[in-house]
Amino acid sequence: MNKTVNPNDLTSNDDNGPLYVAQKKVYPQSVSGTFRRIKWGLMAFCLGVYYFLPFVRWNRGIGAPSQAVLIDLPNSRFYFFFIELWPQEIYYFTGLLIVAAVALFLMNSVGGRIWCGYLCPQTVWTDLFYAVERLVEGDRRERMKKDKSSDPMKLERISEIVLKHSIWLLIAWWTGGAWVLYFNDAPTLVKELVTFQAPMIAYIWIGILTATTYVLAGFMREQVCTYMCPWPRIQAALTDEWALNVTYRYDRGEKRTSVKKAIELRALGEHVGDCVDCYQCVAVCPTGIDIRNGPQLECIQCGLCIDACDNVMTKIGRPKRLIGYDNDINIQRRQEGKAPVYRIVRARTVAYSAIIAAVGGIMIYTLATRSLLDVNVLHDRNPVAVRLSDGSIRNAYTVRLLNKSGYDRVIAIDANGPANLTTHVVGIDSVTPDRPMIVIPRDSTSELRLLVTAPAESNPEKSVPVLFHVTDIGLGEVATATDNFVSP
């Protein structure tokens, strides 16, 4: 096996391009149109929810938090309007994540990267930052000129840059500030933050989110979508030929010519493309790509190129939607002279909808029927059973009672087994023998030591099941737990 390798035999297996290209500054031009309006609307909605939701109040009674959405980490509670979740109910979040993931798949199979183009925080905040930039420094051409200017140190320019970054930082800071409000009572925390009384951790998180917002939306922008985000890769694997994507209808656009030439050629009855090579679609693109090169990983499908192209088409008197939401099949069909087909109801979308409905349904059902009284029982392991002097057998259990309701409860505990069991809670002189009663304060848990005794003559088997009944004396709500009664 002593073969010498000839370097000429080694074939290059390089991919088409480098893994990372240095960032080219993108100067998206402002544009108006249908999709821009949708984007403004969704941006206002998303930011509105994010910034103001913590201030929405919800009455839960005296002593309970009155914030509609609150993640109370110190007390391990999560409040979402009328829902209060305890840490052991964290599986609702699993459900929520499943629904979110499948909703993303569904969006994708219907209309491509709707999430990326309209709803993703990166898109929303970058869009907001661009709006600020445009407001302060002017539109595309002006910004490009200013950046290229040989005399950048003019006072006017410096003040512009300072103003832009100040507004950016202000937005970023408010973004971090709104974040921490979800973890504490918002009005109180705002007051504490202003008077520097808030806990250190709040300032740290505000700092972190200010920094990430400022850097991600102000500087990294489309780089986040191209290099940091996994969704473009996953999306590429999930998409199919029926999914609507922002598409350049090359069958209609090619061959590109100037407006004048197109009119001349059309008069002669020749086929001419509608695309006039005005580069408006490129100018408005926030990721700086040319949609006419076909579907691309960098394309977040925000639809701004559709608006830009539509505006041009209107001006030159050609039909709109040279760039529009379309799928691969239709381009094929149009070339064959067939009418386009749009199919939203497909096996894929039906399956996704069914999963969302099923998981959502299960969550709603379990939420609606969940018990606000719960009991956990843990059998003593050492010793598992004790023989008393009169020969009776006793097992000890650690019982944890959970009162998830907003009021104090009086509850009674019974242990039901084949033998004639008696029950005693350590520390309680029970009024009703064998059925100890105890008060559990609202929204809390109590741990009790429960002693269950079987009389000597009952002679229970080695291990028999016991059913613990926990009854709310007032409302009659019952929670149960099973365990075993063990004999030595």
Partner 1 sequence: MTDHHGDIDSVTGKSTTGHEWDGIKELNTPLPRWWVISFYLTIVWAIGYWIVYPAWPLISSNTTGLFGYSSRADVAVELANLEKVRGDKVAALGAASLADIEKDPALLALARAKGKTVFGDNCAPCHGSGGAGAKGFPNLNDDDWLWGGTLDQIMQTIQFGARSGHAKAHEGQMLAFGKDGVLKGDEIVTVANYVRSLSGLSTRKGFDAAKGEKIFAENCIACHGDGGKGNPEMGAPNLTDKIWLYGSDEASLIETISQGRAGVMPAWEGRLDPATIKAMAVYVHSLGGGK
Residue among 325 and 397 whose Cβ is closer to partner 1 = 397
Is the CB of residue 172 less than 8 Å from the CB of residue 209?
A: yes
Is the CB of residue 399 less than 8 Å from the CB of residue 452?
A: no
Residue among 301 and 395 whose Cβ is closer to partner 1 = 395
To the nearest whole angstrom, how small is the minimum distance from the Cβ of residue 464 to partner 1? 19
To the nearest whole angstrom, how small is the minimum distance from the Cβ of residue 305 to partner 1? 44
What is residue 340's three-state secondary structure? Answer: coil
Is the CB of residue 109 less than 8 Å from the CB of residue 239?
A: yes
Residue among 26 and 386 whose Cβ is closer to partner 1 = 386
Distance (Å, rounded) from C-alpha 89 to C-alpha 159? 53
To the nearest whole angstrom, how small is the minimum distance from the Cβ of residue 4 to partner 1? 6
Residue among 124 and 421 whose Cβ is closer to partner 1 = 421
Residue among 72 and 380 whose Cβ is closer to partner 1 = 380
Distance (Å, rounded) from C-alpha 57 to C-alpha 51? 14
To the nearest whole angstrom, how small is the minimum distance from the Cβ of residue 349 to partner 1? 51
Residue among 116 and 440 whose Cβ is closer to partner 1 = 440
Distance (Å, rounded) from C-alpha 339 to C-alpha 331? 10
To the nearest whole angstrom, how small is the minimum distance from the Cβ of residue 407 to partner 1? 18
Residue among 9 and 14 whose Cβ is closer to partner 1 = 9
Distance (Å, rounded) from C-alpha 250 to C-alpha 322? 8
CB crowding 348-378: b at 16 or more within 10 Å, else e: bbeebbebbeebbeebeeeeeeeebbbbbbe
Residue among 61 and 383 whose Cβ is closer to partner 1 = 383
90 CB burial (10 A radius; 0-12, 13-18, 19+): exposed
To the nearest whole angstrom, how small is the minimum distance from the Cβ of residue 258 to partner 1? 54
Distance (Å, rounded) from C-alpha 297 to C-alpha 371? 48
Is the CB of residue 421 less than 8 Å from the CB of residue 436?
A: no
Give the single-character DSSP code of 249: -
Residue among 25 and 381 whose Cβ is closer to partner 1 = 381
Distance (Å, rounded) from C-alpha 470 to C-alpha 220? 57
Compute CA distances 70 → 53, 193, 318, 363, 445, whole Å: 10, 17, 53, 20, 20
Residue among 9 and 156 whose Cβ is closer to partner 1 = 9
To the nearest whole angstrom, how small is the minimum distance from the Cβ of residue 309 to partner 1? 50
To the nearest whole angstrom, how small is the minimum distance from the Cβ of residue 410 to partner 1? 14
CA-based nearest residue to 379, from 362, 398, 365: 398
To the nearest whole angstrom, how small is the minimum distance from the Cβ of residue 485 to partner 1? 14
To the nearest whole angstrom, how small is the minimum distance from the Cβ of residue 319 to partner 1? 60
The site for partner 1 (CB under 8 A) is made up of 1-5, 7, 10, 380-383, 386-391, 394, 396, 426-427, 446-447, 449, 451, 456
Question: Which structure tokens are listed for 225?
Answer: 């979508």
Question: Which structure tokens are listed for 302?
Answer: 């925000």
Residue among 282 and 385 whose Cβ is closer to partner 1 = 385
Write out the E strands in 219-335.
Answer: 245-248, 323-326
454 CB burial (10 A radius; 0-12, 13-18, 19+): buried
Rg of the chain, C-alpha, whole Å: 33
Is the CB of residue 229 less than 8 Å from the CB of residue 122?
A: yes
To the nearest whole angstrom, how small is the minimum distance from the Cβ of residue 72 to partner 1? 22
